[in-house]
């Protein structure tokens, strides 16, 4: 976020807090940072419960107050002055003690009659600049993000420099509501959740499972063409494996742990790479046998906090279309480019025609967050830069986004309403081969350290499906649609048997067709097929059963069209073959 927009949204968070304190003097304010596309502020309202019906009243007060805000006045405070300013507010007192303990200067900023503890970063003239904002929603949030702390009320808002930018963003949010994968997943009967199974543990219906299998099969087809072999691994592992890999230390809070009757400690796997190292390490390899390429679609598990779960995009069980390449340093570029080809081909087939590239690098100011030394990291990051340049990619570098074991190439895309997502990733692992002592025998007959490449095309299939559903608003390309053709008999008495004959004919050539045999009107059946966003509907009446021409309803078109059976079947099969 550019600095001026950051400051504008930070100022709007102040304005929100001022309006809330004016309307609810008993409330305790905590923190209110700018975030991507907006800002929020967390409050403790005590016994008062706010709903989104209260937002217009708060927003109205914000617009009244901002007329008197001509700037932000900075003042340095002692600890005592700061605590007096926020008397009775244990949240602010905790922050004051924390800042004082770090020898930071305590500062407060005042605009109008409102003063807040703040480090700064505001717009210069709030009354003129803070015009284009909107309060959006209310949510619960634990203080400092810790579920052991008190639950607060978080108010989200957004703010832009111009009205056109605000209107465009609000339009996008409305579109996002219509496309919400949680809503469409239910309407299209793709997945469900059960309180008895547990939060964050999705269950896939037959239709959703068809899509998952189709997508994964295509990834495997592309990998198989490039020399990958399938492997399989268990869902649990001894603690020892993750201690060697470093995951036990880095992911300890996210591990589901199991203690056996004999007292052995296991964990549900949060990722697959350590298991794959052991498949490679089962024997001694000659350099002539490298690369070894292992592909594995399997479920992983992470103990996410309940408040962070969100549909398919944040879950406790997720499926990775994972692959790992064990190769020599001299083979890294060729192997990276093979994966890059797979990513380009796959994402075009699912409707994302443009991918941008981000090099995710380590943060040299936070080295304790990563494994390995500076030399290894510099060598690995320079290798990725060279690969991206040889590919001719326009890329950006993002400090601090690397995996803890190595840098990565992340692929970004924008969906149909302009939101950016990180999708595929290729990671260069410089640490796990060291930690597991993975080698090959080189031309001189001595052990040579190998490198490891992690390659996820969809990554988490659950998260990818959430993006795919929202991108297409459920109207999937024909090849991946769970039902491609819906047969709609005009009369269940007269036309059902003939429709069944056509159903078998379509299925026999590989078209996923279903028959709506409900004893209901044709109009209702047509509307149901439209709700399910099925690419093609065939209305079956006397004319269709008495001749060769079909009445075809194409998704998104009001008018019906006529086609012969042969032409229609070939059209659908061509879309399947061409992955359209």
C-alpha 506, offset from chain centre: 36
> Is 408 among the catalytic positions?
yes
The catalytic position among 292, 320, 427, 484 is 320
- State residue 443 phi and psi, 5-degree precision: -60, -30
550-571 b/e (C-beta count within 10 Å ≥ 16 → b): bbbbebeeeeeeebebeebbee
181 counts as catalytic: no
Q: Cα dist. 248→117, 205, 255, 271, 274 in Å?
A: 38, 34, 8, 12, 11
The answer to whether 534 and 476 are in contact (CB under 8 A) is no
Task: Write the Ramachandran bin of 303: left for phi over 0, alpha for psi from -120 to 50, otherwise beta.
Answer: beta
Active site residue 320: yes
Q: Do residues 478 and 510 make contact, with C-beta atoms less than 8 angstroms apart? A: no
Contact assessment for residue 99 and residue 76, using Cβ atoms and an 8 Å cutoff: no
Return the residue matching tokens 């502020």.
Answer: 41
Judging by beta carbons within 10 Å of its beta carbon (0-12, 13-18, 19+), is residue 286 exposed, middle or buried? Answer: exposed
Show binding-site residues. 273, 324, 454
Is the Cβ–Cβ distance between 321 and 458 less than 8 Å?
Answer: yes
The HSE-up count of residue 558 (CA atoms within 13 Å, CB side) is: 0
Residue 395, beta-bridge partner list: 357
Which residue in 454, 463, 512, 533 is the catalytic one?
A: 454
- Neighbour-count burial of 260, counting CB atoms closer than 10 A to its CB (0-12 exposed, 13-18 middle, 19+ buried): exposed
Find, among 463, 468, 464, 434, the residue nearest to 451 by Cα.
434
Q: Of the listed 12, 159, 273, 440, which one is catalytic?
A: 273
Binding-site residue ranges for Zn(2+): 273, 324, 454
d(CA 170, CA 177): 11
300 catalytic? Reply is no
Of residues 45, 24, 25, 29, the one with CA closest to residue 117: 29
* Other beta carbons within 10 Å of 523: 9
Do β-strands 229-230 and 292-301 pair in parallel, antiparallel, or remain unpaired?
parallel
Measured CA to CA, the distance from residue 263 to residue 436 in angstroms comes to 25
Q: Yes or no: say if 273 and 403 are a contact pair by the CB < 8 Å rule.
A: no
Choice among 207, 408, 495, 553 that is catalytic = 408
Catalytic residue of the set 324, 463, 471, 533: 324
**Of the candidates 464, 463, 512, the residue with the CA atom closest to the CA atom of residue 207:** 512
- Asked if residues 9 and 38 have their Cβ atoms less than 8 Å apart, the reply is yes
Options 132, 302, 358, 362, the catalytic residue: 302
Find the Cα–Cα–Cα–Cα dihedral 166, 171, 175, 177, rounded to 10°. 60
Selected catalytic residue, list 322, 415, 429, 516: 322
Catalytic residue positions, numbered: 273, 302, 320, 322, 324, 408, 454
């Amino acid at each position: 976020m550019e600095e001026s927009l950051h400051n504008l949204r930070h100022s709007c968070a102040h304005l929100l807090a001022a309006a809330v304190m004016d309307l609810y003097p008993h409330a305790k304010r905590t923190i209110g940072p700018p975030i991507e596309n907006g800002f929020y502020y967390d409050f403790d309202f005590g016994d008062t419960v706010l709903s989104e019906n209260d937002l217009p009243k708060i927003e109205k007060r914000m617009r009244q107050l901002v007329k008197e805000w001509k700037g932000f006045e900075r003042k340095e405070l002692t600890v005592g002055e700061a605590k007096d300013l926020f008397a009775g507010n244990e949240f602010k007192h905790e922050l004051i003690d924390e800042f004082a303990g770090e020898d930071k200067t305590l500062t407060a900023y005042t605009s109008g009659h409102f003063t807040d503890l703040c480090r700064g970063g505001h717009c210069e003239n709030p009354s003129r600049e803070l015009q284009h904002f909107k309060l959006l929603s209310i949510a619960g949030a634990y203080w400092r993000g810790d579920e052991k702390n008190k639950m607060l009320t978080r108010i989200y808002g957004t703010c832009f420099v111009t009205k056109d930018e605000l209107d465009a963003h609000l339009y996008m949010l409305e579109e996002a509501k219509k496309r919400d994968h949680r809503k469409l997943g239910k309407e299209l009967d793709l997945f469900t959740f059960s309180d008895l199974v547990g939060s964050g543990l999705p269950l896939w219906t037959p239709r959703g499972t068809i899509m998952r299998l189709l997508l994964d099969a295509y990834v495997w087809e592309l990998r198989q063409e490039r020399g990958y072999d399938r492997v399989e691994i268990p869902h649990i592992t001894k603690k020892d494996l993750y201690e060697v890999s470093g995951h036990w230390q880095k992911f300890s809070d996210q591990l589901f742990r199991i203690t056996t009757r004999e007292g052995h400690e296991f964990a549900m796997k949060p990722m697959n790479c350590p298991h794959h190292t052991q498949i490679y390490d089962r024997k001694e390899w000659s350099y002539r046998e490298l690369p070894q390429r292992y592909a594995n679609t399997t479920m992983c598990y992470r103990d996410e906090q309940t408040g962070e779960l969100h549909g398919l995009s944040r879950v406790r069980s997720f499926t990775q279309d994972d692959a790992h390449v064990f190769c020599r340093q001299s083979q890294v570029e060729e192997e990276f480019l093979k994966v890059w080809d797979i990513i380009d081909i796959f994402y075009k087939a699912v409707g994302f025609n443009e991918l941008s590239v981000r090099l995710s690098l380590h943060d040299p100011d936070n080295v304790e967050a990563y494994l390995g030394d500076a030399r290894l990291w510099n060598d690995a990051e320079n290798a990725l830069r060279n690969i991206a340049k040889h590919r001719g990619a326009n890329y950006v570098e993002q400090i601090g986004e690397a995996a803890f074991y190595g840098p990565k190439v992340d692929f970004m895309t924008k969906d149909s309403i302009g939101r950016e997502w990180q999708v595929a990733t290729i990671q260069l692992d410089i640490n796990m081969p060291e930690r597991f002592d993975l080698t090959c025998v080189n031309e001189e007959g001595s052990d040579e350290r190998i490198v490891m490449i992690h390659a996820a095309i969809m990554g988490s299939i659950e998260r990818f499906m959430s993006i795919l559903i929202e991108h297409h608003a459920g109207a999937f390309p024909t090849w991946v649609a769970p039902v491609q053709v819906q047969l709609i008999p005009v009369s269940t008495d007269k036309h059902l048997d003939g429709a069944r004959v056509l159903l078998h004919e379509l299925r026999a050539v590989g078209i996923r067709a279903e028959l709506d045999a409900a004893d209901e009107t044709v109009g209702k059946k047509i509307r149901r097929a439209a709700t399910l966003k099925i690419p093609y509907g065939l209305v079956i009446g006397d004319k269709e059963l008495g001749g060769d021409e079909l009445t075809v309803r194409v998704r998104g078109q009001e008018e019906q069209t006529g086609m012969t059976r042969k032409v229609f079947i070939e059209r659908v099969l061509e879309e399947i073959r061409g992955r359209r």
